[in-house]
């Protein structure tokens, strides 16, 4: 099982949701830069594959919700996507553009949003480790899609993975089967018992999306290892 480095193992992680989307357009370079400015430990972002095959950073399967365009991401080429305004003049970035903007200053949590993303993401991470001298500890790859995590782990066994889902014995078992280093769930579903059981099985617990001070305080009381927030400066 892949375990967090000794440095990170005991550290509570401040995780910026899609960058710092409470302040800047989500999943944009501007948002990632704001998250770094606010002192995050990790930037969480989402990836999909566009029609021309590139790995792009966007949460929804359609562009309608976050840009001035319409239609499915998978039906648009990178050239077409780059013509859209993702907010404040920002463009939908490539995963490589996002990593270049981060420049190893914080960890990056890459959420695989659809089937077929594991292979291309594993190849990008491989290149950044071999050619740009990134460390394995700078990456976490997460997903609700256990099959994609299985594929990813077969290609990049040294990269940490985080399984997303509803807290349950099934999630704990699947996390163990996948050799996940962490489990991630909505903060409203987390219990102290689940956190304790996950820790007993050598998995950390991350929670999303925690924006209110009382919820942040409760999550810390429960002993979670990382909080994903739109307003990471509140953590």
Can you give the pLDDT of all 235 residues of the chain as single tens digits? 344 443 334 589 999 999 999 999 999 999 999 999 999 999 999 999 999 999 999 999 999 999 999 999 999 999 999 999 999 999 999 999 999 999 999 999 999 999 999 999 999 999 999 999 999 999 999 999 999 999 999 999 999 999 999 999 999 999 999 999 999 999 999 999 999 999 999 999 999 999 999 999 999 999 999 999 999 999 9
3-state DSSP assignment of residue 128: helix
Alpha carbon separation from 221 to 116, 123, 131, 162, 216 (Å, rounded): 38, 38, 41, 22, 9
| 199 part of the active site | no
pLDDT (0 to 100) of residue 10: 56
Strand ranges inside 82-235, DSSP E: 107-112, 139-143, 160-164, 182-186, 204-208, 226-229
CATH number at residue 15: 3.20.20.190
Please state, in angstroms and rounded to a whole number, the distance separating the CA atoms of residues 16 and 34: 9
Which residue is listed with tokens 């704990």? 172
47 located within any domain: yes
209 located within any domain: yes
Please state, in angstroms and rounded to a whole number, the distance separating the CA atoms of residues 226 and 160: 15
78 located within any domain: no
Structural domain of 116: 6-57+96-234
73 located within any domain: no
Domain count, the chain: 1
| 17 part of the active site | yes
85 located within any domain: no
157 located within any domain: yes
188 located within any domain: yes
159 located within any domain: yes
The predicted model scores a pTM of 0.96
3-state DSSP assignment of residue 145: coil
């Amino acid at each position: 099982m892949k375990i967090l480095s000794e440095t990170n193992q005991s550290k509570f992680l401040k995780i910026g949701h899609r960058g710092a989307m409470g302040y800047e357009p989500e999943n944009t370079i501007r948002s990632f830069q704001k998250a770094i400015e606010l002192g995050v430990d990790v930037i969480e972002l989402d990836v999909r594959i566009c029609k021309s095959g590139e790995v792009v950073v966007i949460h929804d399967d359609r562009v309608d919700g976050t840009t001035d365009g319409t239609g499915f991401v998978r039906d648009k080429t990178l050239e077409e996507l780059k013509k859209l305004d993702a907010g404040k003049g920002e463009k939908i970035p490539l995963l490589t553009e996002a990593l270049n903007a981060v420049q190893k200053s914080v960890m990056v949590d890459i959420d695989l949003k659809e089937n077929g993303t594991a292979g291309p993401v594993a190849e990008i991470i491989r290149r950044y480790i071999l050619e740009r001298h990134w460390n394995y500890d700078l990456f976490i790859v997460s997903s609700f899609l256990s099959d994609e995590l299985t594929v990813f782990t077969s290609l990049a066994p040294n990269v940490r993975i985080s399984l997303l889902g509803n807290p349950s014995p099934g999630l704990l078992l699947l996390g163990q089967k996948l050799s996940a280093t962490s489990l991630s769930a909505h903060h409203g579903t987390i219990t102290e018992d689940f956190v304790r059981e996950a820790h007993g099985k050598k998995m950390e617990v991350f929670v999303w999306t925690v924006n209110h001070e009382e919820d942040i305080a409760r999550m810390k009381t429960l002993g979670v290892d990382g909080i994903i927030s739109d307003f990471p400066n509140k953590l």
